[in-house]
Amino acid sequence: MTGTVVVTGAAGRVGTYLRHADGGLAARGWTPILLDVTDPGEPFRHVDILDEDALTAAMTGVDAVVHLAAIPGEDTWDAILRTNIDGTYRVLEAARRAGVGRVVLASSCHAVGYYPADEIARTDRTTRPDTLYGVSKVADEALASLYADRYGLETVSLRIGQCDDVPRTAFHLGIWLSPGDLVRLVDAALRGPVDGHCIAYGISANTRGWWDLTTARALGYEPQDDAERYVDDVAPYDGPQLLGADMVT
């Protein structure tokens, strides 16, 4: 499967990687339609994710949606509720109205941030959000599940780790997602086999990783990078082995 894909929040850091890292989604046969309220420096549509009619118009006739637009970290409850939860509801509703087949959502490791790093994190365990931001991602996953069950929309929630050019600290050696692997992960989420709602972790093939990549690999994701190559360059980390103590999105 390839075709047109709407990318919300296309001007953000993750959206920028999806446009440019290793050629971006375009190099994998997709035609991205970029949505944001900030100019990403390429042709785009100025669309606020709270504007459901504008979203529906932008999604009409497209094959899939990658939903990235959100407040990318901790904030007030009102701000989180408005953008991260209500915004995701409106994106899913617009996709349903427009007849889109699949929506890939950027969830976060902070949906399960209170699980310690010394045990394997599976996708079938109860969520344990570590912040209001994490709560919003739990809500987004629930909305994605609802739209899959009620309306037959194929949905994939990606619990993305520390997506950055390089890992920053020793703690990030376990949760790093390289820009190239991000593109590979999202491409797999767009084209892989999905039955209803799927949750997948988003990290590279890190030697120190503790997140279970079984569902991501079932989508066709084959990570190529390992944070261990930066082991001599990262800053030391002596804090709690919990994401909530770190708050990297």
- Distance between CA atoms of residues 232 and 131, nearest Å: 31
The residue annotated as part of the active site, out of 17, 115, 133, 221, is 133
Torsion of the alpha carbons at 207, 136, 132 and 120, rounded to the nearest 10: -30
**What is the enclosing helix (H) or strand (E) of 176?**
strand 176-177
**Long-range pairs of 69-73 with CB within 8 A, sequence gap ≥ 24:** 69/8, 69/9, 69/12, 69/35, 69/36, 70/9, 70/106, 70/136, 71/133, 71/136, 72/12, 72/13, 72/249, 73/133, 73/247, 73/249
> Does 237 participate in catalysis according to the annotation?
no
Q: How many residues does the chain have?
A: 249
Classified as helix, coil or strand, 106 is strand
Q: What is the DSSP letter of 54?
A: H
Report CA Rg, the chain: 17
Which positions are annotated as active-site residues?
133
